[in-house]
């Protein structure tokens, strides 16, 4: 099932093309990882798919309908987003924060009980059950990030959406320790296995290679490569986009694609010119 499709989408911000003619598709059960240098337009592309911004050109469909055809409330029942950072200074408990994720599903005695069960379940899935009654502002950055992931999971949990379900993750592991980084990407795979389409913006190329079914590489607003890790994360692409020397290998523990990178050796001709 097609969960999201982007065709020829462009977005101009402040006189600059932050997204230029991007086309990609996302299927149910799939994890697509978006990589690229800072300012390449990864988050802007995610915002377009989330419906936060209207593309200047191109068409975007999510969960079986063009974005213009969705009401905010209805879209919120099948698509959830984990933003890069969330500020919350008011002393909600962790459980209350996750329950806010159930807002799109209305109220009532039944839904309230259901929401509570789903919220507790999602907290368990992100390994944050022990935080349930802690006050959110007292959490560390990594704990907050996991609670936000639980909130986003709760939002689209337990629904048989006919157009499918979509989870958008914007650097959802940026504040996590290595164990939790793997944990949250394993969770993304589990969620995908339940039929959700997942797009994750990620900086760590090895996480992208290990957990992405397909990788999209963005550079200055353009999608320069899109496909399975082995075909996309090549020394040529890494060199061109990131300016890094790169060797691909196999992770001896998992057999997954792994990348070793290093700064390119100084170019003698350029060095000479600079001198």
Partner 1 sequence: MDAEVLALPVKRGTAAAREIPAWTRSTLVMAALWAGLVMVVLAGIAIGPSRIAPIQIVSILAEQMGMSLPLEHTTQQTAILMNIRLPRVVLGLLVGAALGMGGAALQGLFRNPLADPGLLGISSGAALGAVTVIVLGTAWLGRFSLGMTGVLMPLAAFMGGLAATAAVYAISRRHGRVERGAMLLAGVAVNASAGSMTGLLVYLSDSEQLKSLTFWLMGSLGGADWSAVWAAAPLTLPPLLLLPRLARALNAMLLGDAVAGHLGFDPNRVSRLSVILVTASVGAAVAASGVIGFIGLVAPHLIRLIAGPDHRIVMPGAALAGAILLVGADIFARIVAAPADLPIGVVTGALGGPFFIWLLLHRAPHGRGTC
CB of 14 to partner 1, least distance (A): 13
- Which pair of structure tokens corresponds to residue 61? 């469909």
CB distance 123 to 150 below 8 Å = yes
- Which pair of structure tokens corresponds to residue 107? 């109220």
Sorted by sequence, the CB contacts under 8 Å of residue 61 that are 6+ apart come out as 2, 4, 5, 67
Q: Which residue has the tokens 């008011």?
A: 90
Among 100, 161, 224, 244, binds partner 1 (CB under 8 A): 100
Query: Which residues between 178 and 207 bind partner 1 (CB under 8 A)?
Result: none
Among 76, 119, 188, 191, binds partner 1 (CB under 8 A): 76
How many chain residues bind partner 1 (CB under 8 A)?
Answer: 33
CB atoms within 10 A of CB 147: 27
Q: What SS3 state is found at 94?
A: helix
* Residue 266 phi, psi (nearest 5): -60, 135
CB of 86 to partner 1, least distance (A): 5
Q: Is 44 in the site for partner 1 (CB under 8 A)?
A: no
CB of 88 to partner 1, least distance (A): 5
| Dist CA 121 CA 264 (whole Å) | 46
CB of 85 to partner 1, least distance (A): 9
Among 50, 198, 209, 210, binds partner 1 (CB under 8 A): 50
Among 23, 138, 186, 251, binds partner 1 (CB under 8 A): 138
Q: In terms of Cα–Cα distance, which of 162, 164, 158, 160 is closest to 110?
A: 158
Q: Is 159 in the site for partner 1 (CB under 8 A)?
A: no
Among 45, 97, 98, 215, binds partner 1 (CB under 8 A): 97
Span interacting with partner 1, options 9-17, 54-62, 98-106, 122-130, rule CB under 8 A: 98-106
Span interacting with partner 1, options 133-141, 188-196, 214-222, 266-274, rule CB under 8 A: 133-141
CB distance 202 to 34 below 8 Å = yes
- Which pair of structure tokens corresponds to residue 70? 């969705």
Among 37, 39, 58, 83, binds partner 1 (CB under 8 A): 83
Task: Count CA within 13 A, CB hemisphere, residue 218.
Answer: 30
Angle between helix 141-155 and helix 109-125 axes, rounded to 10 deg = 130
CB of 139 to partner 1, least distance (A): 9
CB of 258 to partner 1, least distance (A): 33
Binding site for partner 1 (CB under 8 A): 50-52, 71-77, 79-81, 83, 86-93, 96-97, 100-101, 103-104, 133, 135, 137-138, 155
């Amino acid at each position: 099932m097609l969960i999201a499709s982007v065709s020829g989408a462009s977005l101009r911000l402040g006189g600059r093309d932050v997204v230029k003619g991007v086309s990609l598709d996302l299927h149910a059960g799939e994890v697509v990882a978006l990589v690229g240098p800072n300012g390449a337009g990864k988050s802007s592309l995610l915002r377009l798919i989330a419906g936060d911004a209207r593309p200047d050109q191109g068409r975007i469909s999510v969960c079986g309908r063009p974005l213009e055809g969705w009401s905010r409330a209805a879209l919120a029942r099948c698509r959830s987003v984990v933003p890069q950072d969330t500020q919350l200074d008011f002393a909600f408990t962790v459980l209350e924060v996750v329950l806010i994720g159930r807002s799109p599903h209305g109220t009532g005695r039944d839904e309230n009980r259901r929401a509570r069960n789903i919220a507790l379940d999602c907290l368990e899935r992100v390994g944050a059950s022990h935080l349930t009654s802690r006050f959110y502002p007292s959490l560390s950055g990594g704990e907050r990030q996991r609670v936000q992931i639980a909130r986003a999971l709760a939002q689209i949990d337990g629904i048989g959406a006919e157009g499918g379900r979509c989870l958008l993750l914007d650097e959802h592991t940026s504040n996590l320790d290595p164990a939790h980084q793997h944990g949250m990407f394993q969770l993304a795979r589990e969620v995908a296995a339940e039929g959700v389409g997942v797009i994750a913006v990620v900086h760590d190329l090895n996480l992208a290679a290990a957990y992405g079914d397909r990788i999209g590489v963005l550079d200055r607003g353009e999608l320069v490569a899109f496909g399975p890790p082995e075909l996309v994360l090549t020394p040529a692409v890494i060199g061109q986009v990131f300016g890094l020397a790169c060797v691909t290998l196999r992770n001896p523990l998992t057999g997954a694609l792994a990348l070793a990178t290093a700064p390119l050796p100084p170019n003698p001709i350029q060095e000479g010119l600079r001198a």
